[in-house]
């Protein structure tokens, strides 16, 4: 049972729901095992052993409906995604990942009924029917800046439209189960908390650039990019961002001697992290990646990220791309801060 399911819903399957978001819940099928199962099935059919063939077919169908649902979900065909996942669960009722995805999609579908839907050049915007016109105008204007900045930074110009959904603070925190410190999130769609942020075009652009950057990063690296690098890149997505006095002040007050290596920061990004843990992790990943971007071309950092996303250890990837150990890279950054 589990083998066929894992073809499409491998480790990453439920990452679509995780705070870090996910692009490839439908992981590429391990060709050898898929082929082996195909051979097994042919053999069973050949011997008219239908009793053993049937569960294999059912499992494969459940996986295919699951993957098809994911494609519909990511391409803004919510009702069709729900139908596919319902079919998948009828075939394999024990798939917890599909259950979670279906739960979110159903809630979203119900909420969508009361929302306006506006299709722009690069985005589909959804908001409550009673939203203020000036705030929505700010949202449109901010998104134009977001597209320009993030695409320039990551040298990626995707043609498809991205969905941006505006939630009330309560919907965002309780229906979507996002942490209280989070203001926006990308999980295949950009989800935005509350409407207060919509009053400031500048703040809105900063927030949305970060989330749109995640979308571009997942396209470039896949969902297995380490979270600290993903967040570090997203926080530096605006090449000409206005100075951030609060972040700089907090960073200057941080004791650099006791900093953990950036690649050990994972916990701070989890939904269970406290506000302080999260702040420290975001801050360090931001300034570490900023230093990298000042020192190396984005193409070099992209190569490094791809090595890491492909499963290389931090030492292997750093040796390949930077010709030094991860410790040496970390030390070089710390030294650069001392001499500043």
Please report, as ranges, the residues that interact with Zn ion according to CB under 5 A. Answer: 231, 234
Minimum CB separation of residue 233 from Zn ion in Å reads 9
Reduced to 3 states (helix: H, G, I; strand: E, B; else coil), residue 172 is helix
Smallest distance, Å, CB 195 to Zn ion?
A: 21
DSSP 155: T
User: To the nearest whole angstrom, how small is the minimum distance from the Cβ of residue 228 to Zn ion?
Assistant: 11
CB of 30 to Zn ion, least distance (A): 30
On whether the CB atoms of residues 165 and 190 are closer than 8 A, the answer is yes
Specify the residue, 8 or 228, whose C-beta has the smaller distance to Zn ion.
228
Token pair 């190396």: residue: 296
Tokens 């053999």 sit on residue: 43
Give the CB-nearest residue to Zn ion: 234
274 sits in the region (left: phi over 0; alpha: psi -120 to 50; else beta) called: beta
Q: Which is nearer to Zn ion, 7 or 278 (CB)?
A: 278
Q: How many CA atoms lie within 13 A of 285 on its CB side?
A: 25
Tokens of 114: 């009361």
The nearer residue to Zn ion, 123 or 269, going by C-beta atoms, is 269
- Pick 21 or 66: Cβ nearer Zn ion: 21
Closer Cβ to Zn ion, 53 or 234, answer by number: 234
Strand pairing category for 115-119 and 123-128: antiparallel
Q: What are the tokens at 2?
A: 């589990």
CB of 65 to Zn ion, least distance (A): 31
- Nearest to Zn ion of 84, 231 (CB atom): 231
In the complex, the smallest distance separating the C-beta of residue 38 from Zn ion, rounded to whole angstroms, is 40
Contacting residues for 152 by C-beta, under 8 A, at least 6 apart: 239
Nearest distance in Å: CB 231, Zn ion: 5
Sheet holding 115-119, edge to edge: 115-119, 123-128, 162-167, 190-193, 184-186
Distance, in Å, from the CA atom of 245 to the CA atom of 239, rounded to the nearest integer, reads: 17
Nearer to Zn ion, 98 or 150 (CB): 150
Question: What is the rounded CA–CA span in Å between residue 162 and residue 23?
Answer: 13
């Amino acid at each position: 049972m589990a083998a066929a399911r894992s073809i499409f819903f491998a480790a990453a399957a439920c990452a679509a729901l995780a705070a870090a978001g996910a692009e490839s819940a439908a992981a590429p099928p391990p060709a050898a095992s898929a082929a082996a199962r195909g051979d097994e099935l042919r053999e069973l059919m050949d011997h008219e052993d239908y009793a053993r063939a049937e569960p294999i077919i059912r499992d494969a169908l459940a996986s295919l409906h699951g993957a098809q649902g994911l494609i519909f979900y990511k391409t803004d065909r919510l009702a069709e995604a729900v139908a596919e996942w319902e079919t998948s669960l009828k075939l394999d009722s024990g798939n917890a990942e599909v259950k979670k995805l279906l739960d979110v999609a159903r809630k979203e579908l119900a909420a969508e009924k009361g929302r306006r839907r506006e299709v722009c050049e690069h985005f589909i915007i959804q908001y409550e029917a009673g939203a203020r016109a000036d705030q929505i105008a700010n949202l449109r204007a901010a998104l134009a800046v977001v597209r320009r900045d993030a695409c320039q930074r990551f040298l990626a110009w995707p043609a498809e439209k991205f969905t941006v959904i505006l939630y009330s603070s309560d919907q965002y925190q309780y229906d979507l189960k996002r942490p209280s410190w989070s203001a926006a999130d990308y999980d295949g769609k950009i989800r935005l908390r509350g409407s207060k942020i919509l009053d400031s075009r500048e703040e809105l652009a900063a927030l949305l650039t970060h989330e749109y950057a995640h979308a571009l990063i997942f396209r470039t690296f896949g969902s297995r990019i380490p979270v600290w690098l993903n967040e570090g890149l997203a926080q530096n997505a605006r090449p000409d961002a206005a100075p951030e006095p609060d972040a700089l002040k907090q960073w200057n007050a941080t004791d650099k001697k006791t900093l953990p290596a950036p690649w050990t920061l994972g916990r701070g990004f989890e939904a269970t992290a406290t506000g302080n843990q999260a702040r420290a992790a975001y801050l360090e990943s931001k300034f570490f990646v900023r230093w990298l971007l000042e020192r190396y071309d984005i193409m070099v950092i992209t190569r490094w990220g791809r090595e890491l996303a492909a499963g290389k250890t931090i030492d292997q990837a750093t040796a390949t791309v930077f010709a030094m150990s991860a410790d040496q890279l970390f030390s070089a950054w710390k030294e650069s801060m001392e001499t500043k």
